[in-house]
Structure 1
Amino acid sequence: MAKVQLCNITVMDNPSPFLNPFQFEITFECIEELKEDLEWKMIYVGSAESEEYDQVLDSVFVGPIPEGKHMFVFQADPPNVSRIPENDALGVTVVLLTCSYRAQEFIRVGYFINNEYSDPELKENPPIPTQFDKVTRNILASEPRVTRFKINWEEPTSVNGQEPGPSENTDAIVAESSMQLNNESGAAVPSFNENSNSWATMECS
């Protein structure tokens, strides 16, 4: 049984200019004390074509953590625009939040993002290169994609005096639906609701 349950994520400052920091208010619950830190990461998917363009915007360590509910705001600077392919600068992409314990990822939450110009003229005739200072970022906060992984939460036991390495996340349990940029047929991602700014809520079990 997982010792950490994700209760709620609130997407803050959304929609916002592309160059503003990302901000997520994260609430989680520990069913018992964790002696080691949780590592949270925020990852921006720069292109659906290759993981080469993924950017880790920030990583933070939280802990040690007593039993009970906890909340913190995870803030990170926007991605380095020079590393985003020009063809993927506008339109729909993804931001991921992951959490690991003892180097074992046990939960991943993905949000679709729509990047576009707010100026109708620029939207109709987008300039090249992209003028990121005029782009608006809108996170589809109402439909997070949550994937949970089974990990070893217990204290590692030594074998012949050596500590074992972290176990691999070979048993993925999809809580809602796993993050996909495209479906198997290659169709585009679902249409984006530009007016969406609601909370992404996941009930604790």
Structure 2
Amino acid sequence: MSKQHSFSDRPALDTALAAHIAERLAADIASRGKASLAVSGGSTPQGMFAALSRQHLPWDQVWITLVDERWVDADSPDSNEKLVRENLLQNAAAEAHFIGLKGNAADAAAGLQEVTARLDELPLPLSCAVLGMGGDGHTASWFPQASNLQQLIDPRGEALLGCCDPVTAPHQRITFTLPAILAAGEIILHITGEEKRAILAEASEKRYPIAAITEQQSNPASIWWAP
């Protein structure tokens, strides 16, 4: 059963979740000398990123990457890297190491090997993976209509990353796979609003991709929510 944390408003959620993630990172730094965090894009985490950026940590011992990325330039408004650089890699967290998931190849499939090689310096398993969820029940870049969805969410898969053509959304993507997320020290699902809470409640019945996280018991995710 997933542990649920509910808050009265988004600022309270942002503050509490940022403190919780900082504690997780600090624990890994204490135990293995370094820590790693994979974060998601969208509008939901921006306030949490700002709060996390001010947490007191030895940030030079933290590696940050993305759960998934659109195959767009890093200065594009659609880039998750841009979002993270502008909101999280600020203040104290400017000292953290960042590894982006966008390469130089013409498309995501051609760039997959290059981007995967970059992650050789990422401390694995991840200390913490923070997932979001879309209105279609996708998380990471595991989209309901993607032709390779089952490959991306195969718990027996061996790949760290996969590429995805979401079909129902713009841009090709590169994404962590389900087994890579399940190996994390902690999985956090960060959502806001009544609509997304309702989507989450029917995820199993409607076989939304997010159910690959919420229905598994090998590493139960905690759910952090505010209206």
TM-score range, shorter chain: under 0.3
Q: Identify, as 1 or 2, the structure richer in helix.
A: 2
- TM-score normalized by the length of structure 2: 0.24
TM-score (norm 1): 0.26
Max Rg structure: 1
